[in-house]
Structure 1
Amino acid sequence: MKKPLQDFSPTPSSSFLARRALIAALAASPVLPALAQFRVEVSGVGLTQLPIALVPFKGEDSSPQKISAIVQADLERSGQFRGVDASGQALDENSRPDLSLWRQRTADSLVAGSVTRLADGRYTVSFRLWDVVRGQDLGGQSYTVPQGDLRLASHRIADYVYEKLTGEKGIFSTRIAYVTKGGSRYSLWVADADGENAQAALASPEPIISPRWSSNGTQLAYVSFESRKPVVYVHNVASGQRRLVANFRGSNSAPAWAPDGNTLAVTLSRDGGSQLYTISSAGGEPRRLTQSNSIDTEPVYSADGSTIYFVSDRGGAPQIYKMSASGGNPTRVTFSGTYNISPSISGDGRWLAYISRVNGGFKLHVMDLQSGNVQAITDTTADERPSFAPNSKLIVYATKLQGREALMTTTLDGKIKARLAGQAGDIREPDWGPFQKQ
């Protein structure tokens, strides 16, 4: 006999497909304000953190944003850096620092800069990076931005420093999307990668679930219950315009973008049962991918677009499978544990993050896809919806801490975690957007 849909769910009262929406519907916490500030708490110690000194930027005491503090928080949250005391020093991007002093302070690198308000109200933010160990000037940049983009300028500085010192692209100027519920209203938010500067993209009296970024970061697909049933929309982030993509008989849920930006994989029950389909992001007639008597849902594409990973109970309990993006015979991927859901694939194709039920709790796991080795990387028991940063080095996920839902980031080994906790309201369904064009 086919397993009932609700048996997939962490909470007995909610279905697998609409699980998060109905959990959110039970919450009565107020919604986050559009410019909510988050408290970032970094915990854990990595094995090879680079010591870096960030001198307070000249002029930032009178700036609306403390540039050096934002840059330092970004770098520490990555798990690759630890801050070195820079108190008592006055430097900017034009200074010639005494690098021997910074070597005595055990810094491997040094950042200094300035922020200046222009007559037209804009700000010029400039910085320079030094390699203290080698005694090298590693260059710098200058940005002239409106006040509202001071945080973005700070994130771009962090991206520059991260790339110069690690050789890998930084993700601090990227964005995340997530959902909150306050009273009877649901809101879809777009925020900086550190959770700050949240802007409301959509508000509705009905549940909003499963926001997913397009590969170019200009659109969000999501599921809305405005029609009293799950329906898939695509939303243009800049203009706020949206279009209906899937509103077929039954349930329309779990959208996932193909890398080409023109195709979505979705879960539809239009032909009976929950099965996987592809559909144009402009709408139209879907093409069925799976032909099973099981529940097939939560599709996600590999970075090259050749493979779809998804969840199915075809083996008797929910596990993660993969198949060609054009359909075909699926192959089972997860074998550890009896209940595995919510797959996310890293952009470099090396890692699978997912949620596994362990002793009645739900924990974030990471699998090395080459070796098959699996590691549980959290000590919480209500984790959900992991999503990789576009450089494959961090994961954002939702969980519950001290009885409140919270947004977290973690390194892939679980050693460095950062909590992005809203001052009011609970955060659900995070999705990490792609790299932004400069």
Structure 2
Amino acid sequence: MTRLLRSLLLTLLCPAFFGAVAQAAEPLSVEIVGAGASQIPIAIAPLSSEPLLPEGLSDVVAADLNRSGLFRLIDASAISPRPADIAQLNVAEWRNRGTDAMLIGRVNPLPGGKWEIQVRLVDLAKGSQLLGLSYSIEGRQVRTTAHKIADAVFEKLTGVPGVFSTRIAYVTRQAKRFELLVADADGFNPKPVFTSAEPIISPRWSPDGGRLAYVSFERKKPVVVVQTLNNGQRQVVADFRGSNSAPAWSPDGSRLAVTLTRDGSSQIYLMPATGGVPERLMKTSPANDTEAMFSADGKFIFFTSDRGGGPQVYRIATNGGTAERLTFEGDYNVSPRPTPDGRGFVFIQRYAGKFRVMVQDLVNRQVLPLTEGPADESPSLAPNGQLVLFGRLLGGRGELSAVSIDGRTRQRLSLSAGDAREPAWGPLGQ
């Protein structure tokens, strides 16, 4: 195993990385700090007859929008009567309170224990409807429906798809028990995917959200596994001589980029996602290369390499060619993650002994810090490119955090008494 790959794996597997971990499938709690530069003032009114539902819906919508940092919530919890349409809403009053938009609606009971959810997004400046949505749901679908509504409101008011209906994957550990879990983007509904007495690292979502690739040490060495989520079927797709690590999906889901040491040095290979013969990406690279990640259009592969003497971020055309160095500030830059719009990438930089999340613009080469460290790692971009999910060590405990792509809004997603690490944000449309 090469020095670069060994260093990265040891960072992930050291005891301080996991610490004492909570019970499996504990929901993540969310703490929000900061706000976006220009927030949209919005009121989320309780729905008419909402108490009929087994859990609150409007509160979930409000919490979703609040987490984004792009909205300023105007309290409408005491509104009476609860408006179900514009005719029942005092538009002038809410406009005078500095509210730009308001979500109103009703809950109607249906036969068979179901409910109809009707919501309207109102433009208070014009007194007109911006958006109308209707859902027929069962009781267990309240939170899911709330996330869908929040996504629709977010996109209507910002022009960017919402990610509240997406899922995240992460790893926890309790004593010698490692567990890979999948949860809603807000940390609710965690579900175990795989449990092992050996470490699990580097989970990566397939583009369709149906599979996870990850690294398991179940064979007493790192191997790459692909697991189908709806049936739990697992396939070891890379178990070659030496280390098998750092899986990354191609945008069409047909291939994986993996890091292998079967020929001695750490090298990036491309192989079918179902397993098969790996093909080395850089045939004559004298360096140690790892942490490959495809660009959203599939034209480039970003990766970490020590070819310049220390770990730096590079990219190369997927069909080969000459690698281009991208990072020049500092002597330690790793874990590149290209943004969905192709304009930049986030990565981890060591600066003054602290590991922090950075973002670099590929057009003007500007580099900006998104976090201050001191121990941040494993960045994962939201599929709309607006947030970066990452792991960090605070007070001897690991937790997940998220930061907006401009660095203004931060979230902490933590377990009450343990660690969550190795985050991966799933795709849209799950």
Provide the TM-score with structure 1 as the length reference.
0.93
**1:274-319 superposed Cα distances (whole Å, 9 cap, x missing partner):** 1000010010110011233322100000001010000011111100
CA contact (8 A) 1:219 1:236 kept: yes
Structure 1 residue 147: Cα displacement? 2.8
Which residue of structure 2 aligns with residue 371 of structure 1?
364
Shift of the alpha carbon at 1:79? 2.0
Q: Give the direction of change, closer, same or farther, for the CA distance of 1:134–1:193 in structure 2 (3 Å limit).
A: same
The code of the aligned residue for 2:53 comes to: S
Bigger mean CA deviation after superposition, 256-265 or 16-25: 16-25
Question: 2: distance between equivalents of 1:122 and 1:403?
Answer: 46
In structure 1, C-alpha distance between the alignment counterparts of 2:61 and 2:409, rounded to whole Å: 17
> Cα–Cα, structure 1 residues 343 and 337, in superposed 2: closer, same or farther, change >3 Å?
same
Q: What code does the residue aligned with 1:192 have? A: D
Shift of 1:366: 0.7
Aligned residue among 255, 258, 273 for 1:266 = 258
Aligned to 2:350: 357
- The letter of the residue matching 1:78 is S
Q: Name the CA distance, whole Å, in 1 between partners of 2:423 and 2:187.
A: 10
For 1:40, the equivalent position in structure 2 comes to 30
1:415 aligned to which of 394, 408, 419 = 408
1:434 to 2:424 alignment? no
1:182 aligned onto 2:174: yes
Asked if 1 retains the 8 angstrom alpha-carbon contact of 2:18 and 2:173, the reply is no
Aligned to 1:93: 84
- Secondary structure, aligned partner of 1:156: helix
2:393 is the alignment partner of 1:400? yes
One-letter amino acid of the structure 2 residue matched with residue 20 of structure 1: L
The code of the aligned residue for 1:173 comes to: S
Please give the alpha-carbon distance, in whole angstroms, between the structure 2 residues aligned to 1:62 and 1:183.
Answer: 43
1:10-54 deviation per Cα after TM superposition (whole angstroms, max 9, x unaligned): xxxx73135313457752322332xx3333222113221000001
Q: Distance in 1 between matches of 2:68 and 2:116?
A: 26
User: Does the CA contact (< 8 Å) of 1:31 and 1:426 recur in 2?
Assistant: no
Q: Tell me the C-alpha RMSD between the 2 structures.
A: 1.9
Partner-residue secondary structure (3-state), 1:264: strand
Q: Is the 8 A contact 1:321 1:330 kept in 2?
A: yes
Q: Which amino acid aligns with 2:407?
A: G
Deviates more, 1:377-386 or 1:138-147: 138-147
- Number of residues paired by the alignment? 427
AA in 2 matched with 1:360: G
CA-CA distance at 1:191 after TM superposition = 1.0
Q: Alignment partner of 1:17: what SS?
A: helix
Q: Name whichever of 205-214 and 63-72 sits farther off.
A: 63-72
Runs of 5+ consecutive residues of structure 2 not aligned to the other structure? none
CA distance in 2, matches of 1:434, 1:352: 17
Q: Give the secondary-structure state (helix, strand or coil) at the position aligned to 2:7.
A: coil
Which runs of structure 2 are paired with 1:25-424 in the superposition (5 Å)?
27-33=19-25, 36-61=26-51, 63-90=53-80, 91-94=82-85, 96=87, 97-115=89-107, 118-290=110-282, 291-424=284-417
Counting aligned pairs with the same residue, the percent is 46
CA distance in 1 between partners of 2:115 and 2:413 (Å): 27
Query: Any conservation in 2 of the 1:129–1:137 contact (CA below 8 Å)?
Result: yes
SS at match of 1:154: helix
Q: Is the 8 A contact 2:86 2:122 kept in 1?
A: no
* Superposition deviation, residue 116 in structure 1: 5.0
8 Å Cα contact 1:25-1:181 kept in structure 2? no
